[in-house]
Amino acid sequence: MLAKRIIPCLDVKDGRVVKGVNFVNLRDAGDPVELAALYDREGADEIVFLDISASNEGRATMIEVVKQTAGEIAIPFTVGGGISQVDDMKRILRAGADKIGINTAAVLNPALISDGARRFGSQCIVVAVDAKYNELWGEWEVYTHGGRKPSGIKALDWVKEAESRGAGEILLTSMDADGTKDGFDLPLTSAVSSLVGIPVIASGGAGKTSDFYDVFTEGKADAALAATIFHYKEISVPDLKQDLKSKGVEIR
Amino acid sequence: MAIAIVDYGMGNLHSVSKAVQRLGFEGIVTGDADIILGADGVLLPGVGAFGDAMEHLRETGLDAVVRQAAASGKPLLGICLGMQLLFSESEEHGKNEGLGILPGSAVRFKGGEGFKVPHMGWNRLEFLQPNSPLLAGLKEGHVYFVHSYHVLPERKDDLVAVTDYGHPVTAIVGRDNVFGMQFHPEKSGELGMALLRNFLSLAKGSENSKG
């Protein structure tokens, strides 16, 4: 039985962690490498870096962050944000990342998924999907550009296409749940998990320990990602894992 | 104390070499036969396709070098695809011959209800040979796997640890000085680092025995 994964997500801008970090026991809480190493020690199963740098310099700095992180942590990590070409993927993977997250660029150019998968293997390619419920359609729609633009594409169609093009995982963010702390979007997560044969990482809405239990059971997620609740120590990774274990969830 | 990390053009060796360094050993990423044969221990990492990897090994002549290293009695550890390469053959993209250091073959996961392919994520090790030097002082726990093919060793006593993915899956193999780990010890947290440390300690032992 594979263990369900707990994944802290760090937003990084110009080489610095930018939001929601409140660690007192770190020398430099804005250092993504140090924070990733702390999560590794606490038992996180994976780390996701989301690069929100807007400049080329910022992206170049991210490569340095990746190199240092690869030397510091002993768990897999993913880098996403602004990756639009196979060459970008290559640079980040060569710097030591295990997986690449692609979002808007994949929607605009789905061949990026197949090209990346062929070149580096499906296990490296994480397709990140931002989905929001569309009342008219009665189902979820994919949004791009950091959730600003509706794409007109149905989320369930898109995850199926991503899988058939060789995506290794789906990182599924519910825009409806994100930021609410009312729990993950169980109907969306469960619909996607039931549809695809690749792992689904649920994201958006985590507020309490039981939300993780719900998304692993009812939501059928393979992994769950959160940012602020971990950064602000509202939930600690070791406590969360202990709780899930005690409820019979397979956890490392 | 030098550990050769065999570079034959397959995948990123950065993480493995950093992990070796963090454990206090000198890791040399190299495709040089003399350095590999002169090292105290040899790591054969690898990600990608089996056939491509063997082709690279043959083109560079490193297939013979790795066989020679294994025969010399120095500790050799294959990681992930590197473990599969130690065996006789793989059915990945048609039949491909491996290094043939251990008898057995790599076959594709059948998949099926609840068992996605690739087998990717943290899965629990079950120790079959608790007395193996690789497992010294360790308790069963989870390690990180990413693979679509798994090895069926011909000799059951080459199996050191398995994991369960609908059926027992070969996770650690070992015979004399030759070892393999299907998972990524360098990505497997504390337990992974401890397994790697145990292997590197064997290299240390072999250095001492030289005199």
Q: 3-state secondary structure string, A150-186?
A: EEEEEHHHHHHHHHHCCCCEEEEEECCCCCCCCCCCH
pLDDT in tens, A97-127: 999 999 999 999 999 999 999 888 888 999 9
In whole angstroms, give the CA distance from residue B187 to residue B74. Answer: 24
**What are φ and ψ of residue B178, in 5° steps?**
-105, 125
pLDDT band at A25 (very low <50, low <70, confident <90, very high): low
Min distance A9 CA to chain B CA atoms (Å): 17
* Residue to test with chain B: of A1, A64, A120, most B Cβ within 10 A: A1
Active-site residue, from B91, B167, B186, B190: B186
With beta carbons less than 8 A apart as the criterion, state whether B25 and B200 touch: yes
Type of residue numbered B13:
L
For position A79, which CATH number holds? 3.20.20.70
- The answer to whether ipTM exceeds 0.90 is no
Identify the H or E element spanning A191: helix A186-195
Sheet holding B102-108, edge to edge: B96-97, B87-90, B102-108, B149-153
Question: Domain coordinates of chain B in residue numbers?
Answer: 2-209
Strands A139-144 and A125-134: antiparallel
CATH class of domain segment(s) B2-209: alpha beta
With beta carbons less than 8 A apart as the criterion, state whether A160 and A192 touch: no
Identify the H or E element spanning A195: helix A186-195
Task: Measure CB to CB from residue A252 to each of B116, B142, B184 and give the nearest one.
Answer: B142
Two tokens, residue A49:
């870096």
Whether residue A218 is contained in a domain is answered as: yes
Beta carbons of A75 and B146 less than 8 Å apart: no
With beta carbons less than 8 A apart as the criterion, state whether B184 and B194 touch: no
Cβ neighbours of B125 in A, within 8 Å? none
Two tokens, residue A198:
């690749």
**Residue-level pLDDT, tens digit, chain B, 211 residues:** 799 999 988 766 888 998 999 999 999 999 999 999 999 999 999 877 899 899 999 999 999 999 999 999 999 999 999 999 999 999 988 889 999 999 999 999 988 777 888 899 999 999 999 999 999 999 999 999 999 899 999 999 999 999 999 999 999 999 999 999 999 999 999 999 999 999 999 998 776 554 4
Beta carbons of A71 and B12 less than 8 Å apart: no
Closest chain A residue to B49, measured at CA: A121
Closest chain B residue to A91, measured at CA: B12
In whole angstroms, give the CA distance from residue A186 to residue A202. Answer: 9
> Domain containing A140: what range?
5-246
Whether residue A35 is contained in a domain is answered as: yes
Residue A85, CB-side half-sphere exposure with 13 Å CA sphere: 3
Whether residue A29 is contained in a domain is answered as: yes
Query: What's the total number of domains in chain A?
Result: 1
- Name the residue among B124, B94, B120, B92 with its Cα closest to residue B106: B92
Whether residue A133 is contained in a domain is answered as: yes
Task: Measure CB to CB from residue A96 to each of B12, B118, B142 and give the nearest one.
Answer: B12
Whether residue A87 is contained in a domain is answered as: yes
Integer CA distances (angstroms), A213 to A80, A182, A202, B116, in order? 26, 13, 12, 21
pLDDT in tens, B69-93: 999 999 999 999 999 999 999 998 8
**Beta pairing partners, B146:** B120
Assess A6–B contact: CB distance below 8 Å, yes or no: no
A211 in catalytic set: no
